[in-house]
């Protein structure tokens, strides 16, 4: 995939469904009684992996024309899968589903692609084992493949060393089956989609500060879920709208949950003008249409409690920082090292190739903006967020930017390049 400098972008984008919420809707719908209908479900490879895993455990899930219909098996109705559960590239599927599997009356094996087999799983193995689960990293390296033997679970209070919605959600899902109230305290609040959707499906959940608690459930009730657009996907168009000259974009149906909206707060701190229209509530999640225009940006410092609210957007924020006057410092973001790729190293390596002034630090990066970028060959490391970030950088760089492994965008945004091309054609 090759990108060249453009003089303008123009048009409207309707953002596809949120990845985190789509995963959770499949899981809760599968454990619920009755029918769950999910509209605007994200048809990305990660969410399709979640569907396939729950189908393998005997759940009837029909996926037709952007509407997913689940006939739930109830909390105790999952069946032992005949083979291994293949999570593909999806960390969310692995960690959240493990919380559910920890409580079933069967054992099974969970595995995924080469990237999944390098991602840390002790962060869920430790708390789930404290609850009484039996989980083995088959290669004894703290990664998948995992062999999970379901057990009767005890409730725990867990002080999580990381602000991670996947860790929190894994424990809370196991907590549905525990013998008392299960709670998780995080250093900073991470995305709260599990807690919101628990309430929506009738589970007794509370949140106080950075602690989320769940009572054991007797049943979940099937629901109609309308999935808001994914702010993590919108982020690429927000960035493009700000840094491509002569641009105005309307980005429709964006989830603006305050535990996910850090990108908007950072853009505003950098001097962007973004207007919100048509604010709504979709199945308990706030959404809005965003209008973004070319803006003069300046550097900023990002760290602490805002980091979990924009963790997946840091690659595109690094691109924005290259087009901002002055220095941007990103700190407290060590988690970037254990995403689909080591996103600190991969951003620094590829942006350096394009001529950016960027330095890796132990917990983030420092970018001195304002230096013109030139095209380069970008190794995406098959990380969807890296590929999409450099597609946007390529629109503002001299010469050609070639992205290797570009098809990996299918993980979270299947038609990303077509969406972008429409805006490029409209801008001509």
Binding residues (CB under 6 A) for ligand S3P: these are 20, 92, 164-166, 169, 190-191, 311-312, 335
Q: Which residues pair with 351 in a beta bridge?
A: none
Instruction: Please provide residue 294's backbone torsions phi and psi, each rounded to the nearest 5 degrees.
Output: -50, 130
Q: How far is the CB of 66 from ligand S3P (least distance, A)?
A: 20
Of 86 and 312, which CB lies nearer to ligand S3P in the complex structure? 312
In terms of CB distance, is 151 or 191 closer to ligand S3P?
191
- Shortest CB 232 distance to ligand S3P, Å: 7
Q: Which is nearer to ligand S3P, 191 or 252 (CB)?
A: 191
Nearer Cβ to ligand S3P (123/151): 123
Phi-psi label, residue 364: left if phi above 0, alpha if psi -120 to 50, beta otherwise: left
Shortest spacing between CB 194 and ligand S3P, in angstroms = 7
Q: Least distance in Å: CB of 314 to ligand S3P? A: 10
Q: Which residues contact 218 (CB under 8 A, 6 or more apart)?
A: 75
343-353 and 384-394 are packed helices; what angle lies between their axes, rounded to 10 degrees?
20
Active site residue 312: yes
Minimum distance, C-beta of residue 312 to ligand S3P, in the bound complex (Å): 5
DSSP H stretches of helix in 244-356: 262-269, 314-322, 343-353
| Token representation of residue 119 | 């991602």
Nearer to ligand S3P (CB atom), residue 335 or residue 363: 335
Exposure string for 206-239, b = 16+ CB within 10 A, e = fewer = eeeebbbbbbbbeebebbebbbbbbbbbbbbbbb
Q: Which two tokens stand for residue 428?
A: 């001509």
Please identify, using beta-carbon distances, which residue of 115 and 166 lies nearer to ligand S3P.
Answer: 166
The per-residue b/e assignment along 118-136, b for 16 or more CB within 10 angstroms, e otherwise, is ebbbebbbebbeebbbebe
CB neighbourhood size of 93 (10 A): 29
Residue pair 252/13 in contact (Cβ under 8 Å)? The answer is: yes
Least separation, in Å, of the C-beta of 377 and ligand S3P?
26
Sign of the Cα pseudo-torsion (228, 338, 379, 329, in order):
positive
Residue of 312, 362, 383, 421 with catalytic role? 312
CB of 2 to ligand S3P, least distance (A): 27
| The two three-digit tokens of residue 219, written as one number | 């049943």
Instruction: Count how many Cα atoms sit within 13 Å of the Cα of residue 18 in the half-sphere of its side chain.
Output: 28
Nearer to ligand S3P, 318 or 424 (CB): 318
At 83 the three-state DSSP class reads coil
Residue 257 and residue 204 in contact, taking contact as beta carbons nearer than 8 Å: no
Active site positions, annotated: 312
């Amino acid at each position: 995939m090759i990108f060249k400098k453009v003089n303008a972008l123009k048009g409207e984008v309707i953002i596809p469904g949120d990845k985190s919420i789509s995963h959770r809707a499949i899981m809760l719908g599968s454990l619920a009684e009755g029918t769950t209908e999910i509209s605007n479900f994200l048809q990305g490879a990660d969410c399709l992996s979640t569907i396939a895993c729950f189908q393998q455990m005997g759940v009837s899930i029909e996926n037709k024309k952007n509407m997913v219909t689940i006939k739930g098996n109830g909390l105790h109705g999952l069946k032992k899968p005949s083979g291994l559960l293949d999570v593909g590239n999806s960390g969310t599927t692995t960690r959240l589903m493990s919380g559910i599997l920890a409580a079933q009356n069967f054992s099974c094996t969970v595995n995924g692609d080469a990237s999944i087999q390098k991602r840390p799983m002790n962060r869920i193995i430790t708390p789930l084992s404290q609850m009484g689960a039996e989980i083995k990293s088959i290669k004894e390296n703290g990664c998948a493949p995992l062999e999970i033997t379901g057990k009767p679970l005890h409730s725990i209070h867990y002080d999580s060393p990381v602000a991670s919605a996947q860790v929190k959600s894994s424990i809370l899902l196991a907590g549905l089956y525990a013998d008392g109230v299960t709670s998780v305290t995080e250093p900073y609040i991470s995305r709260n989609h599990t807690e919101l959707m628990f309430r929506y499906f009738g589970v007794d959940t509370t949140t106080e500060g950075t602690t989320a608690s769940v009572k054991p459930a007797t049943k979940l009730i099937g629901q109609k879920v309308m999935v808001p657009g994914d702010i993590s996907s919108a982020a690429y168009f927000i960035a493009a709208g700000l840094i491509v000259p002569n641009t105005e974009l309307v980005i429709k149906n964006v989830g603006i949950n305050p535990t996910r909206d850090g990108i908007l707060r950072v853009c505003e701190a950098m001097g962007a003008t973004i207007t919100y229209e048509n604010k709504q509530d979709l199945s308990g999640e706030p959404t809005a249409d965003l209008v973004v225009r070319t803006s003069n940006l300046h550097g900023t410092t990002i760290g602490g409690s805002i980091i979990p609210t924009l963790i997946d957007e840091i690659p595109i924020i690094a691109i924005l920082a290259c087009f901002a006057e002055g220095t941007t410092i990103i700190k407290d973001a060590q988690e970037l090292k254990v995403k689909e790729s080591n996103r600190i190293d991969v951003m620094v390596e590829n942006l350096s190739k394009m001529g950016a002034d960027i330095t890796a630090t132990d917990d983030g990066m420092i970018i001195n903006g304002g230096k013109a970028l030139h095209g380069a060959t970008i190794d995406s490391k098959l990380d969807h967020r890296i590929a999409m970030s450099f597609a946007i950088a390529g629109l503002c760089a001299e010469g050609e930017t070639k992205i290797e492994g570009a098809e990996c965008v299918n993980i979270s945004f299947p038609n990303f390049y077509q969406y972008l091309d429409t805006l490029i054609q409209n801008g001509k």
